[in-house]
């Protein structure tokens, strides 16, 4: 499905943008809304109705909250919105997991629903919940135009994998927005770079992880295990950040400014810093709508540590219905608690490179919990990473030789170094630097786009990892 949706994207975008820019101002939201429904229906035709149901529920509840503002009755539509959204998310995302868990604990044989997970449900339910909560808090005005609210929920660039956009950040542009040639050009370049990150880097290096993850973990060496999880770390970063870049770029072409979702997380010198740089919109959502309402850091250190654990349990569960995701959330909760208590201060005594190495090991260990679904598989893979199955073998040398160039490119692109070099060239006033910049800003995005299209056409391995969350 994902492969066909990427091909559909290239067929869809030219027709959509011709209709969108040719339409009069009052028709643009209609074109955007209908186009978004067509885009979503290409992969999930039935679940379009579910998304429209969520849209209508939160539109009505937002209007009711505003009508009841200042009275206790305003809490009723707020609670209704939260309950309905969590119920829908829970049924589709966690129904099978809960049934299987109950059956295994009780010996019952309750049939599982077996329904496929609606694409993007974790993202758009969080968006619509944030809307009703913000209306209740007085941070946003209720949207009176159902079409405009539908555009907010269904907007295709960020609908299925984020970034999570708060309503108040785009409320004005839903009604009034403008674009110019510069913003269109910048958005198109951002899209090209994001597509290249996904197709040329994430797909390529993901094949290394696919190879190693399919093996018997009791038979792989330490070097092979570290190569594998490093490949997964780069794959998930370029896959997800690439999609975010594509969404931000397409949004900019249409006059929207979506929030940044990644800020070079792999250069972080602590786990705390890492989670300020990774999936920024999700972290912001949990901080604003869960952590702070729980008390944040306002009620003393013990309560703050409990709040961190609660938030990270929920963060783990948000990512998927499986024990490994809960373990993943608890692993980072443990590290964040340790850094809050004493480890953060200890890390400050050492050069930054020490913190970067510690964070790399901590995050890579966390990716094992994220990527390997069974407890036995997790323990087997961690055992291999510790060298208990041998330190190096021929497979490790072969795979390292096959992928070392791609790994080095991925390492370089995951740092700010390429951007710093580009910025330095851009600031060149005269001479070859400026000439090189003017040539590069036109040629490089076009070349990356052509290479990415060739990669899509010639390769059947095109998974979007975050589509299943």
Q: What residues are annotated to the active site? A: 319
Question: Which phi and psi (to 5°) does residue 104 adopt?
Answer: -70, -30
Which tokens is 216 given? 């018997």
Which of 82, 65, 165, 159 has its CA nearest to residue 120? 159
- Cα distances (angstroms) measured from residue 101 to each of 96, 97, 108, 112: 9, 6, 10, 10
Q: Cβ of 412: how many Cβ atoms within 10 Å?
A: 10
Which tokens is 374 given? 């069974």
If you ran DSSP here, which 8-state letter would residue 198 be given?
A: I
- Tell me if 171 sits within 8 A of 143, measured CB to CB: yes
Q: Cβ of 104: how many Cβ atoms within 10 Å?
A: 9
- Tell me if 142 sits within 8 A of 65, measured CB to CB: yes
Q: Is the dihedral of CA 435, 437, 443, 444 positive or negative?
A: positive
Give the C-alpha separation, 447 to 430, whole Å.
Answer: 25
Concatenated DSSP letters of 221-276: -HHHHHHHHHHHHHHHHHHHHHHHHHHHHHHHHTT--PPP--S-GGG-SSHHHHHH
Which of 447, 419, 423 has its CA nearest to residue 433? 423
Which tokens is 150 given? 């539908």
Which of 50, 37, 255, 16 has its CA nearest to residue 155? 37
Which tokens is 295 given? 């008390």
- Tell me if 82 sits within 8 A of 131, measured CB to CB: no
Which of 136, 127, 112 has its CA nearest to residue 61? 136
Give the C-alpha separation, 202 to 186, whole Å.
Answer: 23
If you ran DSSP here, which 8-state letter would residue 68 be given?
A: T
Q: Cβ of 276: how many Cβ atoms within 10 Å?
A: 15
Half-sphere exposure of 65 (CA within 13 A, CB side): 28
């Amino acid at each position: 499905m994902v492969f066909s949706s990427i091909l559909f994207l290239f067929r869809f975008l030219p027709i959509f943008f011709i209709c969108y820019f040719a339409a009069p101002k009052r028709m643009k939201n209609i074109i955007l809304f209908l186009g978004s429904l067509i885009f979503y229906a290409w992969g999930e035709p039935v679940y379009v109705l579910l998304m429209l149901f969520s849209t209508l529920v939160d539109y009505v509840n937002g209007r009711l909250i505003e009508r009841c503002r200042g009275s206790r009755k305003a809490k009723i539509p707020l609670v209704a919105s939260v309950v309905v959204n969590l119920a829908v998310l829970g049924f589709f995302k966690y129904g099978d997991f809960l049934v299987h868990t109950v059956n295994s604990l009780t010996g019952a044989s309750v049939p599982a629903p077996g329904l496929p997970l609606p694409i993007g449900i974790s993202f758009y339910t969080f968006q619509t919940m944030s809307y009703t909560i913000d209306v209740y808090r007085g941070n946003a005005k209720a949207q009176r135009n159902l079409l405009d609210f539908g555009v907010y929920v269904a907007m295709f660039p960020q609908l299925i994998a984020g970034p999570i956009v708060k309503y108040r950040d785009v409320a004005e542009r839903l009604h009034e927005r403008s674009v110019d040639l510069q913003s269109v050009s910048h958005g198109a370049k951002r899209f090209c770079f994001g597509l290249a990150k996904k197709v040329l880097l994430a797909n390529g290096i993901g094949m290394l992880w696919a190879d190693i993850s399919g093996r018997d973990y009791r038979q792989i060496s330490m070097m092979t295990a570290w190569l594998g999880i490093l490949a997964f770390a780069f794959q998930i970063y370029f896959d997800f950040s690439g999609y975010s870049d594509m969404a931000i770029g397409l949004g900019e072409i249409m006059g929207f400014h979506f929030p940044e979702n990644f800020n070079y997380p792999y250069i972080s010198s602590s786990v705390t810093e890492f989670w300020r740089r990774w999936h920024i919109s999700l972290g912001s959502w949990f901080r604003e709508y869960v952590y702070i309402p729980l008390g944040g850091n306002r009620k003393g250190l013990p309560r703050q540590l409990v709040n961190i654990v609660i938030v990270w349990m929920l963060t783990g569960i948000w990512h998927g219905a499986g024990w490994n995701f809960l373990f993943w959330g608890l692993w980072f909760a443990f590290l964040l608690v340790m850094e809050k208590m004493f480890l953060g201060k200890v890390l400050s005594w050492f050069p930054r490179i020490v913190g970067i190495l510690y964070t790399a090991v901590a995050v890579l260990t966390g990716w094992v919990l994220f990527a390997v679904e069974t407890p036995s598989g997790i323990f087997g893979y961690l055992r291999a990473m510790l060298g208990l199955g041998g330190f190096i073998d021929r497979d490790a040398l072969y795979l390292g030789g096959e992928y070392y160039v791609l790994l080095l490119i991925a390492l370089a692109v995951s740092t700010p170094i390429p951007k710093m070099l580009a910025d330095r060239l851009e600031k060149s006033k005269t001479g070859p630097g400026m000439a090189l910049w003017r040539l590069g800003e036109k040629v490089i995005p076009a070349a990356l786009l052509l290479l990415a299209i060739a990669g899509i056409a010639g390769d059947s391995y095109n998974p979007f990892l975050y589509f299943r969350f």
